[in-house]
């Protein structure tokens, strides 16, 4: 399962990109709004941090077909290769996905609340579909189960489209989808940092150092010398 940072906080992205095995960064207009600066600057700064080999997702904001295409072209011009344009999974969005597919611009069908949206986005040529796990939970349905259903639909139809599960509030939701083998998950910096925040882990790691120091007076193997 690929793992992405769903955030536009540059400091947090820097830290997570350095310490965690992430595949890139996803954004949406609401996430970019939190950075309180020109969204183009934020996106370019994210691209600089992660480099050109990792993936960045940026969303077309215009709700018209022509506007979606214009936004998509601008996003690709701004961010270069390994950029995926998020397009809402609506009828207008499906039309834009089909056109962008013909142009060779990869898209992600986003704002997915139902398996039918995901099926149609994948059929329209989207490379990813992004179901909103926690938001689905909050509507009274089971977000994780809906993502599994979407993964089955893609697999059973041989669709060349990956799941990019989004909107997580805890690591259990993420892990259950990793166990199932969904294509990818994207989580806020706070959710990622909580993945291995655990006093038992910290204590065990420190115990090893303490025991070594009690034996040798040193806190590193290399400090023992030749
Ligand atoms: O990118 C969409 C997704 O991340 C939404 O997350 O936390 O706003 O439900 P959230």
**For the chain, how many structural domains are there in total?**
2
Same domain, 187 and 204: no
Tokens of 14: 């820097």
Q: Is the pLDDT of residue 197 over 90?
A: no
Same domain, 30 and 126: yes
Give distance in angstroms: CA of 57 to centre of ligand 1: 13
> Among residues 86, 123, 197, 218, which one is catalytic?
86
Give distance in angstroms: CA of 205 to centre of ligand 1: 34
Same domain, 148 and 190: yes
- pTM score: 0.94
Same domain, 141 and 202: no
- What mean pLDDT comes out for the span 186-213? 94
Give CA–CA dist 81/54, Å, rounded.
Answer: 9
Q: CB within 8 A of 119, min separation 6: which ones?
A: 150, 153, 157
Main-chain dihedrals φ then ψ at residue 180, nearest 5 degrees: -75, -20
pLDDT band at 211 (very low <50, low <70, confident <90, very high): very high
What tens digit of pLDDT does each residue of 79-104 get? Answer: 999 999 999 999 999 999 999 999 99
Same domain, 147 and 205: no
Q: What is the CATH number of the domain that holds 180?
A: 3.20.20.70
Give CA–CA dist 47/41, Å, rounded.
Answer: 10
By residue range, what is the domain housing residue 180? 2-195
pLDDT band at 198 (very low <50, low <70, confident <90, very high): confident
Residue 86 designated active-site: yes
C-beta of 135 in contact with ligand 1 (< 6 A): yes
- What mean pLDDT comes out for the span 33-51? 98
Burial of residue 11 (CB within 10 Å: 0-12, 13-18, 19+) is exposed
């Amino acid at each position: 399962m690929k793992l992405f940072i769903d955030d536009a906080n540059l400091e947090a992205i820097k830290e997570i990109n350095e310490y965690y095995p992430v595949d890139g960064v996803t954004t949406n207009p609401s996430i970019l709004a939190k950075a309180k600066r020109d969204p183009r600057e934020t996106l370019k700064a994210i691209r600089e941090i992660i480099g050109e080999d990792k993936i960045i997702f940026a969303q077309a904001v215009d709700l018209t077909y022509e506007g979606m295409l214009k936004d998509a072209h601008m996003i690709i011009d701004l961010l270069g290769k390994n950029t995926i344009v998020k397009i809402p999974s609506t009828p207008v969005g499906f039309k834009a996905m089909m056109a962008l597919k013909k142009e060779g611009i990869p898209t992600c069908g986003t704002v997915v609340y139902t398996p039918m949206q995901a099926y149609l986005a994948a059929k329209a040529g989207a490379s990813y579909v992004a179901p909103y796990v926690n938001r689905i939970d909050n509507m009274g349905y089971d977000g994780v189960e809906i993502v599994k259903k979407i993964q089955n639909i893609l697999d059973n139809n041989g669709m060349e489209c990956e799941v990019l599960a989004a909107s997580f509030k805890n690591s259990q939701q993420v892990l259950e989808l990793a166990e199932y083998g969904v294509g990818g998950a994207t989580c806020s910096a706070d959710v990622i940092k909580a993945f291995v925040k655990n006093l038992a882990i910290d204590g065990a790691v420190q115990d090893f150092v303490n025991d070594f120091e009690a034996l040798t007076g040193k806190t590193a193997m290399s400090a023992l010398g030749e």
